[in-house]
Structure 1
Amino acid sequence: MISVRNHRQLLSGNRIFFLLLMMSIMACSASKSVVNKKDVQIVKSDSDKKIKRDTIRPEDGVIRDDILKNQPKMDTVIWHDISDEKGAVNDKNSRDAHFNKKDSYRINMLIPLNSDEIVDPAASRFVQFYAGALLAFEELKQEGVSLNVRVIDTDEGSYQLERHLDELTSDSIDMIIGPFDRDQLRTLAEKCNEKQVYLVSPWQTSSKLTQQNPYYIQMKPNLREHFNKIVQYSLTNYKQGEVVLVGQNSGETKAWFQYFQDEAQLINKNKKEFFGSYFVNLDSLKKGPTAFYNLFKGKNVKAIILPNYSFQDENFVYSCLRRLAAEKGNKTFSVIGMPLLFDSDKVEFEFYHALQIKVAISDFVDKNEEKIKVFRRTFLDKYGEIPTTDAIRGYDLIMYMGRNLYHYGKEFAKYLSRESTSYLQSTYDIQRAYIDVDKMMDDPEHFDYYENKYLDIIGFKGDKWVKMD
């Protein structure tokens, strides 16, 4: 069963996409019954503008995506409940008896679809995520996985989560996916810990959101994991002194640099500092004759790390890249950094080659892979639109969680760390996360939550991004 919306005709936007999306939802079910009607509001970003969203939260390393608000309105929608009374058939004899398994699993999905004011549904990252998830639900049903799914529109800032906590976490619920709102996620995480219901966070991640909560699963690596990945890549590919950390002369930057040094020393078991450090003068970036003369003077620099992650630092990062490209001469080196280097409009194509840019990133999509091409064709045939990375992310997450529920039952999370699993764009390496490493050494069983640790280092080769490791 999937609880969904039945939309009236749209006044504007991509009507074909939304119509086919709703038809595909109905196709997932055998019978239909109206159980509830209510008007909802949906907020949609301006399709003519690219959303710039910070991927990492500074105070605690949260990975997040921001969406624009206050866009033009359109028709309201009405909720319909579409139920599959029989569900999928499970072959119990083929499954291990010692797992706590059920014939069917109940999932609540909280997602801000916000369709009342949507201009172009195909451009909404949450609608794309939802559309990809629906394709996964269909495929899982064909595999014999019976899921009873309730989709709840959290309506971006107006959904009153506290009023529905008991209902959302009732004894019959096996998993909750979402919400996007950070405060709602924190509240729900504590309730899920109390009620022993697994909560999966596809969008937000934070090392401070919850503690001692074995029912919370973060699907995106946090700030420290990005830094750790860059440290590991540096230690594998370069020698001591060949990699230089570059940033502004600030307390925050110094703290980042120290973290890199400490992590390298911990891995290398060497007290010597592995990385060089260089604080760039802002005035020299804007109007000085040179900004990086002293960086290269008498040194064999083979890589430069820019640890900036926020779009607030976009101009600084661009200025560094522009100066490095202008001053490099015949020197050859790589610039390694955060997803900002991949997402920023300011990072020009010529920088990718000239500076051999490499990025630590999760959910990398190689559009030339055959499995991605097949998915894109399937999505296009179904909805009449090209899928974004959010559609692929929604598909991957539901396939991963649905299959693990089917194979391992209600306590599936305990078995997620058995292996690293790859889907279309996502590779899941779910491990126990410890806020206090010392406590881990004392008692590994008392962990804080589960977290996906997987990241790729990608680089630009020829005319495309490729995985480097």
Structure 2
Amino acid sequence: MKLYILFLTFFFATCLASYSQSDKALFKKYEYGKSFLNNKQYKQAYEVFKSLSSVSENNRYRSYSLYFYALSAYHSDKKAESRDILFELLRKYPDWDKKDDIYYLLGMIDLDNQSYASGLENFSKVKSNEFEAEIIQLIKNNVKDVAVDDLEFLYRKYKYDVLGQKLFNALLEINIYPDYESLYEELLPIYGQHILSKDSLSIADEDIIYKDVYNVAVLLPLMFKEFETDSLLPRQQMVFDLYEGIKMAVNDLEKENIKLRMFAFDTESDSIKTRKILSDTAFAEMDLIIGPLYTKTISLAGDYAGLFRKVMVNPVSSNELIINGNPFAFLTTATDNSSAEEAVDYAMDSLKSKKAYIIYGIKKSEEDAAFHYGEYLQERGGEVKLFQGFENDEKYFNKLQKALEPLATDTMPHVYVSSSNPVVASNVISALQNLMARSAVFASSEWLNYDQFSYEQLERMKVHFMYPRYLNEKSYDYRKFRSNYVKKMNLVPSQYASMGYECMYYFGKQLQKYGSGLFAKIHEGFPETGKLYPGFDYTKGNDNSYVPILKFKDGKLIKLNSVLSSDNMKKEKP
């Protein structure tokens, strides 16, 4: 109202300087109006200006009288009348020099009547910047309880930041997935600075929420209608085994007073079905998501997890793309890069081998892992003596053997082979045998499945196996799990049953330990031994970076490295 009073004062001062004897009576009424408005006696001002504005002939004050009539009517709770007067003023005086005041007052009336679109349209016609602060404050205070779609329309048309903030705040109160996901992501960097300003990988202790019972969503292509347990297809059997392992872990955790409420959602390996599941308001109550398994559904769940700050764990994959750029997505298995780094650390710290001969297969992923190995080795002060890709050519073996010749006399370097192809493996082992080389070889655990190698041969050639999914089937905990599984299912547990169990058991305990802060606090903890598997290490990232390294000794496969130590990675004596 400050602007109105200033305007009124200015106008009366101008009139006082220029009035004539003929309009003395009219001006006297202005004196009354001025006095009443200055003292906020709006009803009296209303009567004065209503009377004054009705004089149409020789009334030099009529345009201003109409405006002050409308203004006093507004403050006398006669808003409909005020609005009509303002439109009359616009019709009779289209070129009036105080039109900004008219549109401003019209906007106020419309906002009071919750006619937000009309009010903002009137505000948009105000040209002077003098009104900007007051308009923003009016929008902030008066625009309330507007549907998201309507609010978005107003924001896009009128571009007020205060509307953008209201729209973003409204999105925070609803399930935005999937209809408003893109809108949220658009507004987040503009109006979500209070969220982005917080380190996405940290959370204050006082902000962590703990529960007596946690909700766990299991997103798997269960396809219950197709389950016939006597004749499952291999892919169905994998899913079935995972699911049963997860359920057993939930039961075992309950015995340890860790209470989880598990909800199974059948994705049917279909993106549309998965999107429908995620958009269900009930899904917002989930505290942990296990799965899904396949590419077209993983990306949807990953987007949801990142958007709503919910931990999503993939129990089988080692694909780095699942966790890249998403602090809420986790893998229970090491990525190829983590496996490579573990091998470098072991070679340099335990074997004191700083030089590497790197050979990779024909797959792009194998070349990428080899490159990362060399890069990490050099970061640690090592040296790459050879970086060579396999060639499907009969002359390749001779080329490879020639490149490896220095190993015939120098045993300190090691060989890193990034390939699960048995042909590549045969070429490398044969070349090293011909040279009578005694250098350590680091290779995939899949080499253990190749018929062309005997265990004695692999031991003699000092092959070290990077085995992210190593399972000690002789351990007490595994034998107990196996016994319980056989009693329940009348089946020996597969690798996938073990993976499902271990994923649920480990992350169930982390959920109890860290609550809603799990996504961040898990990086601040220490590596831990697992229940069935050797261990978990999330101190470096969102994949389980601990990779067991094994080799044969006296015909037995032994594990060389432990997940536990004061420096987070103890190297045991080989």
Taking structure 2 as the reference length, the TM-score comes to 0.54
Is the partner of 1:304 in helix, strand or coil? Answer: strand
Q: Distance in 2 between matches of 1:336 and 1:277?
A: 14
Matched, 1:398 2:507: no
Check conservation: 2:462, 2:551, Cα contact below 8 A: yes
Match in the other structure for 2:227: 116
Whether the 8 Å contact between 2:358 and 2:374 is mirrored in structure 1 is: no
Distance in 2 separating the partners of 1:248 and 1:211: 24
C-alpha displacement of 1:235: 1.1
Please tell me the residue identity of whatever aligns with 1:155: E
In structure 2, relative to structure 1, the CA distance for the partners of 1:382 and 1:415 (3 Å cut) is same
Question: Which one of 359, 379, 396 corresponds to residue 485 of structure 2?
Answer: 379
Give the corresponding residue for 1:369. 475
The Cα offsets for residues 329-364 of structure 1, whole Å up to 9 and x where unpaired, read as 4x4333211233245566544542232221112131
- Determine the structure 2 residue equivalent to 1:337: 443
> Given that residues 108 and 150 in structure 1 are in contact (C-alpha distance below 8 angstroms), is that contact kept between their aligned partners in structure 2?
yes
Deviation digits for residues 130-174 of structure 1 (CA, Å, limit 9, x no counterpart): 222222111112222222211123334577212222127733111
Q: Whose strand proportion is higher, 1 or 2? A: 1
The answer on 1:228 being equivalent to 2:338 is no
Question: Which residue identity lines up with residue 226 of structure 1 in the other structure?
Answer: S
Instruction: Pick from 238, 256, 264 the counterpart of residue 151 of structure 1.
Output: 264
Superposed CA deviations along residues 105-137 of structure 1, whole A, max 9, x for unmatched, are 111101234553666559723222222222211
Displacement of 1:217: 2.0
Select 1:407's aligned residue among 513, 520, 542. 513
What is the SS of the residue equivalent to 1:459? strand
Offset of residue 191 of structure 1: 1.7
Q: 1:174 to 1:228 in 2, by over 3 A?
A: same
1:454 match: secondary structure: coil
Pick 1 or 2: higher relative contact order, CA cutoff 8 A, min separation 6. 1
Task: Indicate the percent of aligned positions where both proteins have the same amino acid.
Answer: 17
Deviation at 1:221, TM superposition (A): 1.7
Question: Contact 2:219/2:292 (CA < 8 Å) preserved in 1?
Answer: yes
2:404 is aligned with what amino acid?
L
The question of whether the paired residues in 2 share the 8 Å contact of 1:111 and 1:180 is answered with yes
**Separation in 1 of the partners of 2:279 and 2:503?**
25
- 1:320 is matched with which residue? 428
Letter in 2 for 1:398: M
After superposition, give the CA deviation of every residue in 1:33-66 in whole Å (9 maximum; x if it has no partner): xxxxxxxxxxxxxxxxxxxxxxxxxxxxxxxxxx
Q: Which residue does 2:419 correspond to in 1?
A: 308
User: Which amino acid in structure 2 is aligned with residue 126 of structure 1?
Assistant: V
- Equivalent AA in structure 2 for residue 116 of structure 1: F
Equivalent position amino acid for 2:480 in 1 = V
Question: What CA deviation, in whole Å up to 9, does each residue of 1:385-442 have, x standing for no partner?
Answer: 2222222221111111212222332332322221212121151112364xxxxxxxxx
Q: Which residue of 2 aligns with 1:52?
A: none
Change in Cα spacing, 1:464 to 1:155, as seen in structure 2 (3 Å) is farther
Counterpart in the other structure of 1:53: none
**Alignment partner of 2:284: what SS?**
coil
C-alpha distance in 1, partners of 2:455/2:347? 24
Report the Cα offset of residue 281 of structure 1: 6.0
- Is the CA contact (8 Å cut-off) linking 2:439 and 2:462 kept in structure 1? yes
In structure 1, the partner of 2:213 is 104
CA RMSD of aligned residues (A): 3.4
Residue of structure 1 equivalent to 2:273: 160
The aligned runs of 1:397-436 (5 Å cut-off) are 397-417=503-523, 418-423=525-530, 424-431=532-539, 433=541
| 3-state DSSP of counterpart to 2:522 | helix
Change (3 A) 1:157 1:344: farther
The count of aligned residue pairs is 349
What's the TM-score, normalizing by structure 1? Answer: 0.65
Q: Which of 397, 400, 404 matches 1:295?
A: 404
Task: Give the CA deviation at 1:301.
Answer: 3.6
1:140 maps to a residue whose letter is: L
Mapped contact 1:182–1:204 kept (Cα < 8 A): no
Query: CA shift at 1:190, angstroms?
Result: 0.9
Alignment of 1:280-291 (within 5 A): 282-284=392-394
Question: Is contact 1:351-1:357 (8 Å) kept?
Answer: no
Distance 2:456 2:360 in 1: 22
- Contact residue 105 and residue 147 of structure 1 kept, 8 A: yes
Query: CA offsets per residue over residues 301-333 of structure 1, 9 Å max, x none?
Result: 453221124xxx3332234334544x254x433
> Are 1:213 and 2:331 matched, yes or no?
no
Can you list the C-alpha shifts for 1:171-226, whole angstroms capped at 9, x where unaligned?
31111110001221112111222222221122234444465433222222212111
**Amino acid corresponding to residue 526 of structure 2 in structure 1:** E
User: Hey, what does 2:311 align to over in structure 1?
Assistant: 198
Question: Is residue 514–residue 522 contact of structure 2 (8 Å, CA) maintained in 1?
Answer: no
The correspondence for 1:459, drawn from 543, 548, 551, is: 551
Structure 2 runs not aligned, ≥5 long: 1-204, 562-574
Corresponding letter in the other structure for 1:429: D
Equivalent pair of 1:242/1:300 in contact (CA under 8 Å): no
Amino acid at match of 2:218: M
Q: Residue 238 and residue 276 in structure 1: after superposition, are their counterparts in 2 closer, same or farther (change >3 A)? A: farther
Contact 1:243 1:305 in 2 (8 A): yes
SS at match of 1:363: coil
Alpha-carbon contact 1:241-1:301 (below 8 Å) kept: no
> How has the CA–CA distance of structure 1 residues 118 and 156 changed in structure 2, closer, same or farther, with 3 Å as cutoff?
farther
Quick check: 1:226–1:455 contact (8 Å CA) kept in 2? yes
Q: Distance in 1 between matches of 2:313 and 2:429?
A: 37
The one-letter amino acid paired with 2:559 is K
Q: Assess if the C-alpha contact under 8 Å between 1:242 and 1:301 holds in 2.
A: no
Following the alignment from structure 2 to structure 1, what is the Cα–Cα distance between the partners of residues 474 and 498?
A: 14
AA in 2 matched with 1:320 = V
Do the aligned partners of 1:380 and 1:387 also contact (CA within 8 Å) in 2?
yes
